[in-house]
Structure 1
Amino acid sequence: MFKVKDRQNSCVEPFEFLPAKSGEVYALGEALTYTDKVTKCAATAKPTHICMGPGDGNVVPVMPVLATTRFEVPYDAKPTAGTAVTLGTAGLSVTATTTSGVFTITDVDEANGTACGYFR
């Protein structure tokens, strides 16, 4: 689950309610992409939004992904600080895979199994 760690500005990203892809269910903190409808993010795609709560089947509450926002997220395999890694298959974690990475790791907390970073 992607959680906001900190921001490089004093503004908070606004929540939006965007149309959901038919048949998809989204989890809090899940990475999503949006063109005409919100959909689950592929491992090597940069998400445009993060799910901020349950949808009603028609719309889903989201926040936009900005370069000024740093996220904390669990990892599937321990990544290395300074590398750009891919997303986990469910869009709720990151991997240690650096090929086509979209999430740049700034630091790793082994005790909690989390990494912090931003989408590039």
Structure 2
Amino acid sequence: MNPTTDAPFTPAPQARIRAVTPMSLCDWPGRTCAVLYLGGCNLRCPTCHNASLAFTPTRHDVLDTSAVLAGLSVRRNWLDGVSVCGGEPTLDPGLPALVRALRALGLPVKVDTNGMLPDVARTLLE
């Protein structure tokens, strides 16, 4: 139960992280970052660089979010941030919780989005 409202506690959904690049020098110009990949997309661009993740995300296992965060925590002193991309990350209901968890580690977060869901993107700025 949530002690402030007496309502049942509902945990935030976890993001469906499908892949991780532990260190990238090109995904965030001027920064050394890790890259987290979420699956699915609301567009079908013929030149998509992550077509497998975007169009058939279930072909990729969902990684344990806690394990991914633990790995980032260990390396956070060597990273300048984390880039979250996809597919289209704003389709994942767990994205806001993931961004909060990354920020709690002290890591700046960049989300690569196609911009089709501006309300979701706006909530990430709060």
Structure number with bigger Rg: 2
TM-score range, shorter chain: under 0.3
Between structures 1 and 2, the one with greater strand share: 1
Query: TM-score, normalized by length of structure 2?
Result: 0.26
TM-score (norm 1): 0.26
Higher helix share: 2
